[in-house]
Structure 1
Amino acid sequence: MCHDISFSANTVEFITDLLPNIIWDNQLSIDFSTTSHVLSMSNRRCIVLYNRDGKPHGAEFEWGLIADYMNTPELIKKYRIQMANARYENILEKKSAWYRIRKQRCLVVLEGFFEHREVKGITNKIPYYVKLTHRSHMLIPGFFNYSPLPDVESGEMKGTFSIITRPANDLMKKIHNHGPNKHRMPLLMQPEQALKWIREDLTDEDIKAFVNYEIPVEELDYCPVYTIRTTKERPDGKGKKDAYEWSNLPALGTDEVVEQRSLF
C-alpha cells in the first residue's frame, strides 16, 4: 500500500508550470519544512488537484478520506485509518464507498514515496525512496470528499483524500515484499498522463482503462534510505530521501542476508 510520501515547496512551482491556469482555493498554509516525510496515519495536509467547471483547482486536503457515512467522531476514528488508500479493484464495485464518489477524482502531487522491504537477518524493515526517473514530481490519482462534520476549530467542511493503489510491477514486488498488502504500489504514470484522471467527462469504462495502467520499471528510480518513521536524525546527518548504505543489505530479489564465508 502507500502510507509514506514526500514533497516540498518546489511542488508549488511544479504545479504552476504544469498548469499555468490553476486556481488555488485558498492560500497555502502547509509547513514545507515538515513534508520530506508525511505519514498517512497523521492525517496531514497535502496538495491535491481537481477540476471544477472545467478548470483545474489546487487545494490543501487531509490524507485519509472521511466518507459521508462517517458522520460522528466515533465513526471517523474507527474507519478513517482504512481510507488512506483505495484499491483499484474496488473502484467500480457498486457496493463500495469508492463507487459512490468515483466522480470526485483528484491528483495528489508528490516528489516521491517510501515503501518498506523485509530482509531476513536484518531487524528493521528497510525503507526505499521511489520517484520518477526523469521527472521531479509525480501525480498520484485518488478520490476526495468533504467531511460531513465541520472542523471543530474553523467550522469548515475540510477536504480529505485517498490514494489509489494497484498490483505492484516487477520492481515494487521486490521492495514491497511483506505483510497482508504486499506486492502493491500507488497508481503511477507520467504527469501528463495522470492529468486525464481529473477530466470531468470520464466514463466508467475510461476509469477502468485508466487504473489498469502499469508503469514500466525503467520509469522509476529508487534507493534504500535510513529509517523514516522516527524523529531522530540520521547518523550521517543527511535528509530523509538521501540514499543510505545498510550493512549486509542484499540486492533486490534476495530477501535474506547471505553470510560471507572465509576462504581460510
Structure 2
Amino acid sequence: MCYDIALNANLQRILKSVPLLKTAGNLDLNFDTTYHKIGMSFPQWPVIVNNNGLKVDKYTWGPVPKLLDTLEKVKRQRQMYLNARSEKVLESGTMWNAIRHQRCLIPVTGFFEYRQIPEWKNKVAYYIHSKEQEVFLIAGLWAYSNSWDVDKPERIPTFTLLTRAANPLMRQIHNGGDNAGRMPLMLPNELALQWIEKDITETDIRNIIQYEYPAEQLEYWPVNSVRKVKPDDETVIARAVYEGLPELSL
C-alpha cells in the first residue's frame, strides 16, 4: 500500500498544475512543503474538495472509524485506514461505500514504494513521480473523525488515499508484502476534477476507479530507505546506487 508521499510544492505550483483551482476558496492556505511524510505519523496535508465550490484545505491523513472507540484501539489499528482499496468504494456494506459521496484529491509530487529482491536481506526503496505533471493528483475519500490525541476527542477532517491494482511497472516495484501489486489511484486532471464533481453517477465512479495510470508516464529511481530519520530535504529523493540491482522492464 502507499504510506509514503511527498509534496515539494507550494500552493502556487499546485494551482499551476490544476488551473481550475484558481477559482477555489481558501487560497491563503499555508503548508510546509516536504520530501517525505509517512502515513503512520498521521500528518496534515493539503486536500482538494468540492464543498459548494472547489476548496483547498488541510486534512489529517488517516480516518478514525467509529469502531475505533478507544485510544488503545486507535493506536493499534488506525494505520489500517490510511489507504482504501478503490474496489471497496462500490462494494455495498463497506465503510468506503458509505462515504463514497465524500470524494477528494490529494496533491503530491511523488511517492515511495519498496521492492523485494530475491535473496536480498533488505527491500529497496524507490521514488516514483509523473513525467507529465510536476504536481499530480491521487483520488481519495474524506470523513470527519474523532481526534484521539486529546482528552476529549473533537471532530476533525481526515482523508484516506485510494489504491488500485498496479500497472506493469509498479507490479515489479511493489512486489512484496501482504498488499503487493498495488499503487495509488493517480488521475489525470480531467478525471481528477470529475472525481470531485457532486453529481457523478456510480457508473462514472466505476469508470474512474478503473483508470490505470500508464507505466510509461512514470519516472522512478532507487533511493535510500525513507523509513530512517533524516533531514527533510532533496537528499531524501537522491538517486542511490545498489550494486547488482536487477533492471526493471516496461
Unaligned runs of 5+ in 2: none
Residue aligning to 1:22: 24
Once the 2 structures are TM-superposed, how far is the Cα of residue 248 of structure 1 from its aligned partner? Answer: 1.4
CA RMSD of aligned residues (A): 2.3
Q: Secondary structure at the match of 1:46?
A: strand
1:169-206 CA distances to partner (integer Å, 9 max, x unpaired)?
Answer: 10001101111110110111223321211111112111
Whole-angstrom CA distance in 1 between matches of 2:116 and 2:140: 27
Counterpart residue number, 2:111: 113
Distance 1:15 1:137 in 2: 6
Q: Answer with 1 or 2: which has the greater Rg.
A: 1
1:1-30 CA distance string (max 9 Å, x none):
11110012x2411233321112128743x4
Whether 2:74 is the aligned partner of 1:76: answer yes
Distance 1:150 1:224, change over 3 A: closer
Give deviations 1:16-56, integer Å, cap 9, x for gaps.
Answer: 3321112128743x433xx2111111101111100012x10
TM-superposition CA deviations, 1:70-111 (whole Å, max 9, x none)? 343334334311101110121111110001100110001100
Change (3 A) 1:96 1:221: same
The reply to whether residue 40 of structure 1 matches residue 28 of structure 2 is no
Amino acid at match of 2:7: F
Q: Which amino acid aligns with 1:252?
A: L
Given that 2:68 and 2:74 are in contact with CA atoms closer than 8 Å, whether structure 1 keeps it comes out as: yes
Would you tell me which structure has more strand in proportion to its own residues?
A: 2
Matches of residues 1-264 of structure 1 in structure 2 within 5 Å?
1-8=1-8, 10-17=9-16, 18=18, 19-24=21-26, 27-28=29-30, 30-32=31-33, 35-53=34-52, 55-149=53-147, 152=150, 156-232=154-230, 239-252=235-248
- Tell me, in whole angstroms, the C-alpha distance in 2 between the residues paired with 1:220 and 1:62: 27
Q: Distance in 2 between matches of 1:238 and 1:201?
A: 41
Report the CA distance between 1:154 and its aligned residue. Answer: 9.9
Q: Is the 8 A contact 1:72 1:149 kept in 2?
A: no
CA distance in 2, matches of 1:153, 1:101: 27
Assess, with a 3 A threshold, how the Cα gap between structure 1 residues 151 and 202 changes in structure 2: closer, same or farther.
farther
Taking every aligned residue pair, what percent have the same amino acid on both sides?
A: 36
Counterpart Cα distance in 2 of 1:48 and 1:154:
25
Structure 1 ranges of 4+ moved more than 6 A: none
Q: Mean alpha-carbon deviation: is it higher for 167-176 or for 240-249?
A: 240-249
- Normalised TM-score (structure 2): 0.90
Gaps of 5+ in 1: 254-264
SS, match of residue 190 in structure 2: helix
**In structure 1, C-alpha distance between the alignment counterparts of 2:56 and 2:67, rounded to whole Å:** 26
Distance 1:13 1:214, change over 3 A: same
**Does the residue aligned with 2:40 lie in a helix, a strand or coil?**
helix
**Secondary structure, counterpart of 2:35 in structure 1:** coil
